[in-house]
Chain A
Amino acid sequence: MMESMETMKEMMETSIFEVFEKMFYVFLEPDGVECPDYDAEALVSFSGSMNGKMSLMLSEKVTKVMVKNMLNLEEEDITDREVEDCSKEAVNMACGNFLAKLDDTERFDLSIPVFLNSPRSVLRQGDDTISLNLISDDGEVGVIMQVFSKGD
Chain B
Amino acid sequence: MAFNILIVDDSRSMRSVIKKVISMSGFKVDQCLEAENGREALDLLALHWVDIILSDINMPVMSGFEMLEVLGKDSLLGSIPVVVISTEGREERMRNAFELGAKGFIKKPFLPEDIKRVLYEVIGVDDGEYGDNEGDDGDLDF
Is the beta-carbon distance between A72 and B11 smaller than 8 angstroms? no
Q: Does B87 contact A (CB under 8 A)?
A: yes
Cβ–Cβ contact A107 & B58, under 8 A: no
Q: Please, how many angstroms separate the alpha-carbon atoms of A103 and B20 in the complex?
A: 32
A96 at the B interface (CB under 8 A) = yes
B117 within 8 A of A: no
Q: For chain B, residues 105 to 142, give those with C-beta under 8 angstroms from any C-beta of chain A.
A: 107-111, 142
Contact of A96 among B16, B88, B91, B111 (CB under 8 A): B88
Please determine whether B13 and A96 come into contact, CB atoms closer than 8 angstroms: no
Select which of B20, B87, B92, B111 is within 8 A of A93 by beta carbon: B87
A103-119 contacts to B, CB under 8 A, are 103-108, 110, 112
Interface residues of A in 77-117 (CB under 8 A from B): 81-82, 85-86, 88-89, 92-93, 95-97, 99-100, 103-108, 110, 112
Judge whether A22 and B12 touch: CB under 8 Å: no
Contacts of B12 in A (CB 8 A): 81-82, 85
Q: Which residues B77-107 have CB closer than 8 A to chain A?
A: 86-93, 107
Q: Does A19 contact B (CB under 8 A)?
A: yes
* Most central of B10, B13, B93, B107 by chain A CB within 10 Å: B13
Query: B17: CB under 8 A from chain A?
Result: yes
* A23-B109 in contact (CB<8A): yes
Please report whether the interface of chain B is mostly helix, strand, loop or mixed according to DSSP. loop
Of A25, A69, A86, A89, most buried by chain B (CB within 10 Å of CB) is A89
Q: Rank and list the top 9 A-B pairs by shortest CB-CB distance, nearest first.
A: A96-B87, A22-B109, A85-B13, A23-B109, A89-B11, A19-B109, A93-B87, A93-B108, A100-B90
**What are 14 A-B contacts with C-beta separation under 8 Å?**
A19-B109, A22-B110, A23-B109, A70-B17, A70-B142, A72-B142, A85-B11, A85-B13, A92-B87, A92-B108, A93-B108, A96-B86, A108-B88, A108-B90
Where the two chains meet, the residues of A that have a C-beta atom closer than 8 Å to any C-beta of B are 18-19, 22-23, 25, 67, 69-72, 81-82, 85-86, 88-89, 92-93, 95-97, 99-100, 103-108, 110, 112
